[in-house]
Amino acid sequence: MLNDVLFQVGYGHFLVLAAMLFVIGVGGVIIRRNALIIMMSIELMLNAANMTLLIFARMWGDVSVHSFALIVIAVAAAEAAVGLAIVVAVFRGRRHVDVDRLNTLRN
């Protein structure tokens, strides 16, 4: 029973899911002003793009794309670590992470 349901889910469903995740990420970047939320939205967009890449690799039967997907995940993790360090440093100095109020590098 469960296998029948799982096999009915096609590549199109996963592409729609990836598109929805990407749109949610874009909405988070555009609407929110908190730096942490913006970083999380960017990570969501990166994961949606990575998911799309893997879906097309699976559709075309190309296995070499999986190594590229792992590199994308590693770069996203490094970007998140550096971004979080910057946000923590800004919060220590300013006591807020609102990007609208962060217009200068000085106090």
Does residue 102 form part of some domain? no
Backbone phi, psi, residue 39, to 5°: -65, -40
Does residue 61 form part of some domain? yes
Does residue 26 form part of some domain? yes
Q: Which domain holds residue 21?
A: 2-94
Q: How many domains does the chain have?
A: 1
Does residue 101 form part of some domain? no
Does residue 100 form part of some domain? no
> In sequence order, which residues have a C-beta less than 8 Å from that of residue 49 and are 6 or more positions away?
18, 22, 72
pLDDT in tens, 33-86: 888 899 999 999 999 999 999 999 988 888 888 888 899 999 999 999 998 998
- 28 or 93: which leads in pLDDT: 28
Distance CA 22, CA 27 (A): 9
Question: pTM, whole model, 2 decimals?
Answer: 0.80
What is the domain-level CATH number for residue 87? 1.10.287.3510
Q: Packing angle between helix 35-60 and helix 11-31, nearest 10 degrees?
A: 160
